[in-house]
Amino acid sequence: MQSAVGAALGAAHAGADPQVRPADAQFGDYQSNLALGLAKQLRQKPRDLAQAIADQLTAGGWFQRVEIAGPGFINLTLSDAAVLEAAAGMFDDERLGVAAAQQPDRVVVDYGSPNLAKEMHIGHLRSSIIGDAIVRVLRFAGHQVVLQNHIGDWGTPFGMLLEQLIDRGWDQAGDHSLADLNRLYEEARARFDSEPAFAERCRQRVVKLQGGDEESLAFWRRLISESCAHMNHVFALLGVLLRDSDLRGESFYNPRLAQVVEDLRSGGLLVESDGAQVVFCEGFTSKTGAPLPLIVRKSDGGYGYAATDLAAARFRVHELGATRVVYVVDARQSDHFAMVFWTLRKAGWAAPEVALEHVAFGTILGPDKKPFKTRSGGTVKLAEVLEEAVGRARAALDAKDRGLDDAELGRIARAVGVGAVKYADLSSDRIKDYVFDYDRMLALEGNTAPYLQYAYVRVQSILRRASEESGELRLAGSALLISDPIERQLMLLLLRLPRVVEQVVRSLEPHRLCGYLYELASLVHQFHERCPVLKAPEPALRNSRLALSELAGRSLRQGLELLGVSVVDRM
Ligand code: ARG
């Protein structure tokens, strides 16, 4: 349709965006508002221009109706033949009509990226899940994606941990488990806050570590490997794509930090402020209006978080060849990234054509609408949250006897429980905070993973019964027919998938895909309510409805897969 409207415009406006968008059903299938803007440029009446475009379109046979409405909107209603042709094309395409990008971007996605000094908690959920969905969508859309797990394996917390270990005795720590590491961190933190001498030693320890002191490094390596094992356990539970080969933590950039400082200095961007080396970024001021510094090197000689990010961005652009760098990080770091991006541009380390994007997200809240904490005010462990969701899903499954064995129930409970937690996160607009609520995320009704998984299960059960009745199904796109308006509506909605994928590629907002899948699942449900499939009045209709069901099932599965949510065949 884009090209039909484009062609109707004629060669004189070959570059103009035809602006064809899905329309509110009362107006037609699609709508284009392009006449409004273009008429202004051409000093014509919008309705006249719209009419001229419409006259061209009616000729093609694609459209059943082309109408001009309001000040010059063009409302487009496709012919049934056009809808069927497009739907058949989608059916016969493994990629469901989603074309692979012709000029793929090379996208570095920085996500997961926990700080390794502590056990992973609920705060680490969002980056891992949102980042993973973004990676899957970008890959599916044909982009080259480089995953980077920018773990916090360096800096002040490690100085604290090491000092505390030294004070307690190296041996005593022995092969501590991660639970001990959490306690160790808390002890160290308390001393850091209350004993200035200890805090000073911690800072010195960081400098030693950064300077390559062998004793400090040896113990640090042990901590990191143990912490990584824990992280991988949580990632496996979550089913995220990150592997050890994607690890490139803060420590990796240590040897590059001096050069960053050097280059900023020779570029005239570095300023000394209270003994620290900082960059003052234009337009960034504190609440009191004072210019806000990006601290590159602290007064004690240690390098800050920002120095590492500058080195990492340089590495990503120049050595990994990124054309787009995406940071999936808490919204509270927005100023940090804005200043880092400003500095990268100013220093000429990221050319204007390289996109730098902070994919920011809000906080997960508890039932009291405050950041989610345990009853005693502690951090909520991520692994425990996932197990709780799986346990609840299992209890719901056990409440009904479906004749499934224990292993199968376990598998389904895992897909539903973990899927519910992930989907609840992805389906809310990422920039907003949301309340973590097991009951809501596990509900079989509403915009939830179980609802979508169940929609898929129902489609699968229809297809299974059909093949039980009549042997292996050989469905093809050419079988599709329109006998009821809802079938047509469903086809049109299915045909929107590529557009939705494109929107997520651009906006990096997975909730758009969730909203689409929810709409799709609801419409599939209505379709099955209205149009009997197995008991369709004639064989041709039965085949068409089976094909439409299968196409819907494949779209649901693909969509959920892009979100990192598993489907099951029964539940
Ligand atoms: N480790 C950081 C944290 O937990 C997130 C790192 C995000 N990535 C980055 N390049 N700064 O807050």
The SS3 call for residue 75 is strand
Number of CB atoms found within 10 A of residue 442's CB: 21
Whether the per-residue pLDDT at 95 is higher than 70: the answer is yes
Q: What is the mean pLDDT of residues 290-298?
A: 92
Pairing mode of beta strands 291-297, 324-330: unpaired
Q: 218 alpha carbon to ligand 1 midpoint, in Å?
A: 24
Give the residue numbers spanning the domain of 59.
2-78
Q: What is the dihedral of CA 504, 510, 511, 517, to 10 degrees?
A: 80
DSSP assignment string, 429-459: -TTS-EE--HHHHT-SSSSSHHHHHHHHHHH
What does pLDDT average to over the chain? 92
Q: Position 441: which residue type?
A: M
Q: How far apart are CA 534 and CA 469, in angstroms?
A: 9
Q: Which residues contact 91 (CB under 8 A, 6 or more apart)?
A: 475, 476, 477, 480, 547, 550, 551
Q: 278 alpha carbon to ligand 1 midpoint, in Å?
A: 20
Among 111, 122, 146, 150, name the best residue to mutate to test ligand 1's pocket (greatest count of ligand atoms within 8 A of Cβ).
Answer: 150
**Residue 304: per-residue pLDDT:** 83
Whether the per-residue pLDDT at 171 is higher than 80: the answer is no
User: 3-state SS string over 463-508?
Assistant: HHHHHHHHCCCCCCHHHCCCCCHHHHHHHHHHCCHHHHHHHHHHHC
Q: What is the DSSP letter of 369?
A: S
**Residue 430: per-residue pLDDT:** 97
Q: What is the mean pLDDT of residues 344-365?
A: 97
Q: What is the mean pLDDT of residues 287-306?
A: 89
If 0-12 CB within 10 Å is exposed, 13-18 middle and 19+ buried, where does residue 55 land?
exposed
Residue 121 resides in a domain: no
Q: What is the mean pLDDT of residues 281-307?
A: 90
Q: Which of 301, 281, 299, 298 is nearest to 211 (CA)?
A: 301
Last residue in a domain, options 175, 192, 222: 222
Last residue in a domain, options 42, 61, 78: 78
The SS3 call for residue 36 is helix
Residue 198 resides in a domain: yes
Q: What angle do CA 515, 461, 405 make, to 5 degrees?
A: 105
Tens digit of each residue's pLDDT (9 = 90 or more) over 190-219: 999 999 999 999 988 888 887 889 988 988
Residue 170 banded pLDDT, cuts 50, 70, 90: low
Number of CB atoms found within 10 A of residue 520's CB: 22
Q: Against a cut of 0.85, is the pTM above it? A: yes
124 pocket-lining for ligand 1 (C-beta < 6 Å): no
**Residue 178: per-residue pLDDT:** 52
Number of structural domains found in the chain: 2
Q: Which atom of ligand 1 is nearest to the CA of 124?
A: 4
Identify the CATH number of the domain in which residue 39 sits: 3.30.1360.70
312 pocket-lining for ligand 1 (C-beta < 6 Å): yes
Q: 186 alpha carbon to ligand 1 midpoint, in Å?
A: 20
Number of CB atoms found within 10 A of residue 451's CB: 19
Q: How far apart are CA 399 and CA 392, in angstroms?
A: 11
**Residue 219: per-residue pLDDT:** 81
Q: How far apart are CA 120 and CA 129, in angstroms?
A: 14
Q: What is the DSSP letter of 244?
A: G
Range ranked top by mean pLDDT from 213-222, 225-234, 282-291, 382-391: 382-391
**Residue 16: per-residue pLDDT:** 84
Backbone angles phi, psi at 7, to 5 degrees: -65, -35
Among 109, 110, 113, 125, name the best residue to mutate to test ligand 1's pocket (greatest count of ligand atoms within 8 A of Cβ).
Answer: 113
Q: What is the CA radius of gyration of the chain?
A: 28
113 pocket-lining for ligand 1 (C-beta < 6 Å): yes
110 pocket-lining for ligand 1 (C-beta < 6 Å): yes
Last residue in a domain, options 173, 200, 222: 222
Q: What is the dihedral of CA 384, 386, 391, 392, to 10 degrees?
A: 110
Residue 300 resides in a domain: no
Residue 277 resides in a domain: no
Q: 222 alpha carbon to ligand 1 midpoint, in Å?
A: 21
559 pocket-lining for ligand 1 (C-beta < 6 Å): no
The SS3 call for residue 116 is coil
Which tokens hold the place of 372? 């989610």
Pairing mode of beta strands 30-32, 73-78: antiparallel
Q: What is the DSSP letter of 115?
A: B
Tens digit of each residue's pLDDT (9 = 90 or more) over 27-82: 899 999 999 888 888 888 999 999 988 988 876 678 999 999 999 999 999 999 99
Q: How far apart are CA 145 and CA 138, in angstroms?
A: 7
The H-or-E segment that residue 305 falls in is helix 305-318
DSSP assignment string, 501-531: HHHHHHH--THHHHHHHHHHHHHHHHHHHHS
User: In percent, how much of the chain has pLDDT > 90?
Assistant: 73
Residue 27 resides in a domain: yes
In angstroms, the Cα distances linking 183 to 90, 151, 173, 199 are 55, 20, 11, 18
152 pocket-lining for ligand 1 (C-beta < 6 Å): yes
Residue 430 resides in a domain: no
**Residue 166: per-residue pLDDT:** 80
Kindly tell me the sign of the dihedral angle through the C-alpha atoms of 492, 494, 497, 498. negative
Tens digit of each residue's pLDDT (9 = 90 or more) over 519-548: 999 999 999 999 999 999 999 999 999 999
Residue 191 resides in a domain: yes
Whether the per-residue pLDDT at 258 is higher than 50: the answer is yes
Q: 388 alpha carbon to ligand 1 midpoint, in Å?
A: 27
CB 345 within 8 A of CB 352: yes
**Residue 173: per-residue pLDDT:** 47
Q: Can you name the residues that pair with 69 across neighbouring β-strands?
A: 73
